[in-house]
Amino acid sequence: MATGIHRGVTLPAGRVAAVRDLTREFGDRTVLDRLDLEIAEGEFIALLGRSGSGKSTLLRALAGLDDEVAGEVAVTGSVAVAFQEPRLVPWRRVHANVTLGLHVPDAKARADAALAEVDLTARAGAWPLTLSGGEAQRASLARALVREPELLLLDEPFSALDALTRITMHHLVLTLWSVHRPAVLLVTHDVDEALLLADRVLVLDEGRIAHESLVTARRPRHRDDPELVSLHSTL
Protein backbone atom coordinates (compact mmCIF):
# COMPACT_ATOMS: atom_id res chain seq x y z
CA MET A 1 0.00 0.00 0.00
CA ALA A 2 1.35 3.42 -0.91
CA THR A 3 1.85 6.13 1.67
CA GLY A 4 -1.20 8.24 2.37
CA ILE A 5 -4.76 7.97 3.53
CA HIS A 6 -6.92 5.46 1.75
CA ARG A 7 -10.61 5.62 2.31
CA GLY A 8 -13.16 3.10 1.21
CA VAL A 9 -10.42 0.67 0.24
CA THR A 10 -10.55 -3.08 0.49
CA LEU A 11 -8.95 -4.05 3.77
CA PRO A 12 -7.58 -7.38 4.93
CA ALA A 13 -10.44 -9.75 5.72
CA GLY A 14 -12.23 -8.91 8.93
CA ARG A 15 -10.67 -5.44 9.32
CA VAL A 16 -12.30 -2.01 9.18
CA ALA A 17 -9.08 -0.02 9.61
CA ALA A 18 -5.37 -0.63 9.27
CA VAL A 19 -2.80 1.96 10.28
CA ARG A 20 0.89 1.50 9.62
CA ASP A 21 3.82 3.73 10.50
CA LEU A 22 1.48 6.60 11.27
CA THR A 23 3.46 9.69 12.21
CA ARG A 24 2.13 13.13 13.02
CA GLU A 25 4.35 16.04 13.92
CA PHE A 26 3.34 19.49 15.11
CA GLY A 27 6.39 21.68 14.63
CA ASP A 28 9.25 19.79 16.27
CA ARG A 29 6.91 17.73 18.43
CA THR A 30 6.24 14.14 17.32
CA VAL A 31 2.78 13.33 18.61
CA LEU A 32 2.27 10.02 16.78
CA ASP A 33 5.46 8.08 16.19
CA ARG A 34 5.28 5.31 13.59
CA LEU A 35 2.16 3.90 15.16
CA ASP A 36 0.63 0.60 14.01
CA LEU A 37 -2.97 -0.42 14.66
CA GLU A 38 -5.55 -2.73 13.16
CA ILE A 39 -9.23 -2.56 14.02
CA ALA A 40 -11.34 -5.69 13.52
CA GLU A 41 -14.96 -5.71 12.45
CA GLY A 42 -17.29 -5.31 15.39
CA GLU A 43 -14.70 -4.99 18.14
CA PHE A 44 -15.00 -2.39 20.88
CA ILE A 45 -11.69 -0.71 21.63
CA ALA A 46 -11.05 1.78 24.42
CA LEU A 47 -8.09 4.09 23.85
CA LEU A 48 -6.56 5.44 27.04
CA GLY A 49 -3.62 7.77 27.53
CA ARG A 50 -2.60 10.88 29.38
CA SER A 51 -3.90 14.23 28.25
CA GLY A 52 -1.85 15.34 25.25
CA SER A 53 -0.74 11.78 24.39
CA GLY A 54 -2.23 12.02 20.88
CA LYS A 55 -5.56 10.20 21.28
CA SER A 56 -7.61 12.82 19.43
CA THR A 57 -4.88 13.17 16.81
CA LEU A 58 -5.12 9.44 16.08
CA LEU A 59 -8.89 9.60 15.96
CA ARG A 60 -8.82 12.57 13.57
CA ALA A 61 -6.47 10.68 11.26
CA LEU A 62 -8.85 7.69 11.23
CA ALA A 63 -11.80 10.00 10.59
CA GLY A 64 -9.99 11.49 7.60
CA LEU A 65 -9.97 14.93 9.23
CA ASP A 66 -6.18 15.30 9.06
CA ASP A 67 -4.31 15.01 5.81
CA GLU A 68 -0.93 16.03 7.20
CA VAL A 69 -0.09 12.64 8.63
CA ALA A 70 2.70 10.48 7.30
CA GLY A 71 2.36 6.73 6.95
CA GLU A 72 -0.51 4.56 5.87
CA VAL A 73 -4.11 4.76 6.98
CA ALA A 74 -6.60 2.44 5.32
CA VAL A 75 -10.14 2.83 6.58
CA THR A 76 -13.53 1.51 5.59
CA GLY A 77 -15.68 4.00 3.67
CA SER A 78 -18.29 4.07 6.38
CA VAL A 79 -16.94 5.91 9.40
CA ALA A 80 -18.83 8.16 11.81
CA VAL A 81 -17.53 10.34 14.63
CA ALA A 82 -18.95 11.79 17.84
CA PHE A 83 -16.97 14.28 19.90
CA GLN A 84 -16.98 15.41 23.52
CA GLU A 85 -18.91 18.53 22.49
CA PRO A 86 -21.87 17.33 20.43
CA ARG A 87 -21.19 19.95 17.69
CA LEU A 88 -24.81 20.32 16.64
CA VAL A 89 -25.62 23.14 14.23
CA PRO A 90 -27.63 25.56 16.41
CA TRP A 91 -29.85 26.96 13.66
CA ARG A 92 -31.15 23.55 12.60
CA ARG A 93 -33.58 21.46 14.58
CA VAL A 94 -32.46 18.13 16.03
CA HIS A 95 -33.94 16.04 13.22
CA ALA A 96 -32.27 18.22 10.55
CA ASN A 97 -28.95 17.92 12.41
CA VAL A 98 -29.20 14.15 12.21
CA THR A 99 -29.79 14.14 8.45
CA LEU A 100 -27.25 16.91 7.72
CA GLY A 101 -25.01 15.87 4.84
CA LEU A 102 -26.74 12.49 4.54
CA HIS A 103 -27.61 12.11 0.90
CA VAL A 104 -29.73 8.97 0.74
CA PRO A 105 -33.36 8.71 -0.38
CA ASP A 106 -34.57 7.37 2.97
CA ALA A 107 -32.70 9.92 5.11
CA LYS A 108 -35.82 11.06 6.93
CA ALA A 109 -36.94 7.55 7.85
CA ARG A 110 -33.41 6.65 8.94
CA ALA A 111 -33.22 9.72 11.16
CA ASP A 112 -36.60 8.87 12.70
CA ALA A 113 -35.31 5.39 13.48
CA ALA A 114 -31.99 6.64 14.89
CA LEU A 115 -33.71 9.22 17.09
CA ALA A 116 -36.04 6.52 18.40
CA GLU A 117 -33.07 4.30 19.19
CA VAL A 118 -31.45 6.97 21.32
CA ASP A 119 -34.84 7.77 22.89
CA LEU A 120 -34.99 11.28 21.48
CA THR A 121 -38.14 11.11 19.32
CA ALA A 122 -39.88 13.64 21.55
CA ARG A 123 -37.07 16.16 20.96
CA ALA A 124 -36.81 15.72 17.18
CA GLY A 125 -38.30 19.17 16.52
CA ALA A 126 -36.32 20.93 19.27
CA TRP A 127 -33.53 23.46 18.78
CA PRO A 128 -30.11 22.15 19.87
CA LEU A 129 -29.60 24.93 22.41
CA THR A 130 -32.67 23.75 24.35
CA LEU A 131 -31.25 20.22 24.86
CA SER A 132 -29.67 18.98 28.07
CA GLY A 133 -26.06 17.73 27.85
CA GLY A 134 -27.20 14.11 27.73
CA GLU A 135 -29.83 14.84 25.07
CA ALA A 136 -27.31 16.69 22.91
CA GLN A 137 -24.91 13.78 23.20
CA ARG A 138 -27.70 11.36 22.24
CA ALA A 139 -28.49 13.55 19.20
CA SER A 140 -24.83 13.39 18.29
CA LEU A 141 -24.95 9.57 18.58
CA ALA A 142 -28.08 9.49 16.37
CA ARG A 143 -26.25 11.60 13.78
CA ALA A 144 -23.41 9.06 13.81
CA LEU A 145 -25.72 6.04 13.79
CA VAL A 146 -27.78 7.22 10.82
CA ARG A 147 -24.66 6.84 8.67
CA GLU A 148 -24.68 3.10 9.48
CA PRO A 149 -20.94 3.16 10.25
CA GLU A 150 -18.73 0.11 10.19
CA LEU A 151 -16.33 2.13 12.34
CA LEU A 152 -17.65 4.44 15.03
CA LEU A 153 -15.12 6.87 16.50
CA LEU A 154 -16.03 8.36 19.88
CA ASP A 155 -13.78 11.05 21.36
CA GLU A 156 -14.51 11.33 25.09
CA PRO A 157 -18.25 11.56 24.40
CA PHE A 158 -19.26 11.20 28.06
CA SER A 159 -16.57 13.24 29.81
CA ALA A 160 -18.63 16.40 30.18
CA LEU A 161 -21.74 14.62 31.50
CA ASP A 162 -22.80 14.19 35.11
CA ALA A 163 -22.29 10.74 36.65
CA LEU A 164 -25.89 9.54 36.34
CA THR A 165 -26.25 10.65 32.73
CA ARG A 166 -22.91 9.00 31.98
CA ILE A 167 -24.25 5.65 33.27
CA THR A 168 -27.32 5.98 31.03
CA MET A 169 -25.02 6.72 28.09
CA HIS A 170 -22.85 3.66 28.84
CA HIS A 171 -25.93 1.43 28.64
CA LEU A 172 -27.11 3.18 25.48
CA VAL A 173 -23.77 2.80 23.69
CA LEU A 174 -23.53 -0.88 24.62
CA THR A 175 -27.07 -1.47 23.36
CA LEU A 176 -26.41 0.35 20.08
CA TRP A 177 -23.15 -1.55 19.67
CA SER A 178 -24.77 -4.94 20.28
CA VAL A 179 -27.60 -4.19 17.84
CA HIS A 180 -25.56 -2.68 14.98
CA ARG A 181 -22.13 -4.16 15.72
CA PRO A 182 -19.92 -1.41 14.32
CA ALA A 183 -16.29 -1.49 15.39
CA VAL A 184 -15.95 1.22 18.05
CA LEU A 185 -12.86 3.19 19.00
CA LEU A 186 -13.70 5.03 22.19
CA VAL A 187 -11.22 7.60 23.47
CA THR A 188 -11.53 7.99 27.22
CA HIS A 189 -9.36 8.90 30.20
CA ASP A 190 -11.52 6.77 32.47
CA VAL A 191 -10.17 3.29 33.23
CA ASP A 192 -13.48 2.17 34.75
CA GLU A 193 -15.30 3.21 31.60
CA ALA A 194 -12.80 1.34 29.44
CA LEU A 195 -13.28 -1.88 31.43
CA LEU A 196 -17.04 -1.52 31.41
CA LEU A 197 -17.41 -1.03 27.67
CA ALA A 198 -14.48 -2.37 25.69
CA ASP A 199 -13.20 -5.78 24.79
CA ARG A 200 -9.72 -4.44 24.02
CA VAL A 201 -7.91 -1.60 25.77
CA LEU A 202 -5.02 0.32 24.27
CA VAL A 203 -2.82 2.85 26.04
CA LEU A 204 -1.16 5.54 23.99
CA ASP A 205 2.15 6.93 25.23
CA GLU A 206 5.06 8.65 23.51
CA GLY A 207 3.22 8.41 20.22
CA ARG A 208 2.93 4.62 20.29
CA ILE A 209 0.58 1.95 21.60
CA ALA A 210 2.49 1.39 24.85
CA HIS A 211 0.14 -1.18 26.31
CA GLU A 212 -2.61 -3.41 25.05
CA SER A 213 -4.88 -5.82 26.92
CA LEU A 214 -7.99 -7.86 26.32
CA VAL A 215 -10.82 -7.33 28.78
CA THR A 216 -12.11 -10.52 30.37
CA ALA A 217 -15.61 -9.25 31.13
CA ARG A 218 -17.68 -6.07 30.81
CA ARG A 219 -18.49 -5.23 34.39
CA PRO A 220 -17.93 -2.60 37.05
CA ARG A 221 -14.64 -3.19 38.91
CA HIS A 222 -13.71 -3.07 42.55
CA ARG A 223 -10.79 -0.74 43.16
CA ASP A 224 -8.33 -3.60 43.74
CA ASP A 225 -9.49 -5.54 40.69
CA PRO A 226 -6.27 -6.82 39.02
CA GLU A 227 -7.19 -5.60 35.52
CA LEU A 228 -8.05 -2.16 36.88
CA VAL A 229 -4.86 -1.95 38.94
CA SER A 230 -2.76 -3.13 36.03
CA LEU A 231 -4.24 -0.56 33.65
CA HIS A 232 -3.85 2.27 36.17
CA SER A 233 -0.17 1.40 36.46
CA THR A 234 0.30 2.03 32.73
CA LEU A 235 -1.06 5.60 32.88
Using the minimum distance from each CB to ligand ADP, give the nearer residue, 14 or 52.
Answer: 52
Using the minimum distance from each CB to ligand ADP, give the nearer residue, 53 or 97.
Answer: 53
Please answer whether residues 168 and 134 qualify as being in contact, where contact means their C-beta atoms are separated by less than 8 angstroms: yes
Site for ligand ADP in 22-41 (CB under 6 A): 26, 31
Burial class (CB in 10 A: 0-12, 13-18, 19+), 88: buried
Is residue 157 within the footprint of ligand ADP (CB under 6 A)? Answer: no
The residue count for binding ligand ADP (CB under 6 A) is 10
Using the minimum distance from each CB to ligand ADP, give the nearer residue, 26 or 91.
Answer: 26
Using the minimum distance from each CB to ligand ADP, give the nearer residue, 170 or 189.
Answer: 189
Site for ligand ADP in 38-57 (CB under 6 A): 49, 51-57
DSSP state of 97: H
Which segment (38-46, 47-55, 72-80, 103-111) binds Mg ion by CB under 5 A? 47-55
> What Rg do the C-alpha atoms of the chain give, in angstroms?
18
Could you tell me if residue 31 is left (phi over 0), alpha (psi between -120 and 50 degrees) or otherwise beta?
A: alpha
Among 53, 56, 76, 188, binds Mg ion (CB under 5 A): 56
- Give residues in contact with ligand ADP (CB under 6 A): 26, 31, 49, 51-57
